[in-house]
Amino acid sequence: MTISNQASDNFVAEVDAQNFQAVVIEKSQQVPVILEFYAQGAAPSEALTAILSNLVQAYQGKIFWARVNVQTNPQIVQQLGVRGLPTIKIIREGQLLESLEGPQTEEQLRAHFDQLTMSPSDQIRAQIAHFVSLGDRESAMDMLREMMSQEPNNFSLHTELCDLMIQTQRIEEAETLLASLPNDAEGIEKARSRMYFVKFVQDLAPLNELARAAAEAPSDQDCLFKHACALVVDDQIEAALEVLLKMLGQDKTWQEDAARNTMIKVFELLGKGDPMASRYRRRMFTLLH
């Protein structure tokens, strides 16, 4: 198969016994090398080559694609223990990092390549996000504190820690931290929005009672508003946005545009570029205009 011209010559090379040291070992000291073993005319190989041709270009030099034709390089095949096709060997800093045997989807390869190309800081952030997804906020906060000791002027770490403190009901600590940060600190609006919702609902009835009250009085804006805020704190964000949209449909100006302003706080909580925020922002705009 002819490699797509999308894969720049700067990012791909054919490998043989003569250039293996330079193309694979030495190159892997700079960036991870994706070593593909293939056979001309073999359908599984051609399918993988097509995927790699598109992917490698997308990473713009963060990975390097080296290709070994198994029919003309039996020595390399034997030395690296290649047992079937298609096969990928990932080499970094001269060491075999991973072997991927058999067909691979673009999604699977992208996940591997994302891990390979992450900076140390990005890797730590990914681990923090993983802890949060598991509900282990304590471990996430420990990692954030460690990062803060290394990057004391990175205020986005402070605001992220503050947000987690609020989620774990450490309100006083979070307020102290928030007060110490500059107003333009990255992520500060998210923490402030979270603080607003948590403090608003702390003296309200439990969520199930608020839900029942809203169901029994569906036109009562006050009941709906309390229910929406409690849903936000319970991390039922989309349900909360639906309630706020209902409020807008009933009375756009209730309590000095409370529903609209609260939706904006929810958008801040979700963060820039969040697809749910974008979707509901459009729906809010349609209702208002």
Q: What is the CATH number of the domain that holds 30?
A: 3.40.30.10
The number of distinct structural domains making up the chain is 3
Domain boundary among 70, 95, 117: 117
Q: Are residues 184 and 228 in the same domain?
A: no
Characterize the bridge pairing of strands 95-101 and 33-38.
unpaired
Number of Cβ atoms within 10 Å of the Cβ of 145: 11
Q: Are residues 40 and 132 in the same domain?
A: no
CB proximity list for 78: less than 8 A, separation 6 or greater: none
Q: Are residues 191 and 217 in the same domain?
A: no
The verdict on residue 4 lying in a domain is: no
Q: Are residues 73 and 89 in the same domain?
A: yes
The token pair that represents 191 in the structure block: 């923490």
The verdict on residue 1 lying in a domain is: no
The token pair that represents 100 in the structure block: 């991927």
pTM to 2 decimals?
A: 0.63
Q: Are residues 111 and 125 in the same domain?
A: no
219-244 pLDDT tens trace: 999 999 999 999 999 999 999 999 99
Residue 181, exposed/middle/buried by CB under 10 A (0-12, 13-18, 19+)?
Answer: middle
Cα separation, 29 vs 50, whole angstroms: 26
Q: Are residues 193 and 217 in the same domain?
A: no
Cα separation, 144 vs 148, whole angstroms: 6
Domain boundary among 81, 98, 117: 117
Q: Are residues 179 and 196 in the same domain?
A: yes
Q: Are 147 and 121 in contact (CB under 8 A)?
A: yes
CATH number of residue 280's parent domain: 1.25.40.10
Residue 235, exposed/middle/buried by CB under 10 A (0-12, 13-18, 19+)?
Answer: exposed
Mean pLDDT across 185-208: 95
55-73 pLDDT tens trace: 999 998 999 999 999 999 9
85-121 pLDDT tens trace: 999 999 999 999 999 999 999 999 999 999 899 877 7
The DSSP output letter for 154 is -
Q: Are 24 and 74 in contact (CB under 8 A)?
A: no
Cα separation, 56 vs 36, whole angstroms: 12
Mean pLDDT across 115-133: 85
| Cα dihedral 123→153→272→240 (10° resolution) | 90
Residue 5 has a pLDDT of: 46
Q: Are residues 221 and 265 in the same domain?
A: yes
Residue 1 has a pLDDT of: 54
Q: Which residue has the tokens 């000291």?
A: 29
Q: How confident is the model at residue 4 (pLDDT cuts 50, 70, 90)?
A: very low
The verdict on residue 3 lying in a domain is: no
Cα separation, 24 vs 13, whole angstroms: 9
Q: Are residues 192 and 228 in the same domain?
A: no
Mean pLDDT across 2-27: 81
The token pair that represents 87 in the structure block: 């096969």
The verdict on residue 13 lying in a domain is: yes
Mean pLDDT across 25-38: 96
Domain boundary among 201, 229, 263: 201
The verdict on residue 154 lying in a domain is: yes
Q: Are residues 31 and 97 in the same domain?
A: yes
Whether the per-residue pLDDT at 123 is higher than 90: the answer is no
Q: Are residues 249 and 188 in the same domain?
A: no
Q: How confident is the model at residue 6 (pLDDT cuts 50, 70, 90)?
A: very low
Structural domain boundaries, residue 52:
9-117
Characterize the bridge pairing of strands 12-15 and 64-69.
parallel
Q: Are 195 and 164 in contact (CB under 8 A)?
A: no
Cα separation, 61 vs 283, whole angstroms: 40
Count the alpha carbons within 13 Å of 206 in the hemisphere toward its beta carbon: 2
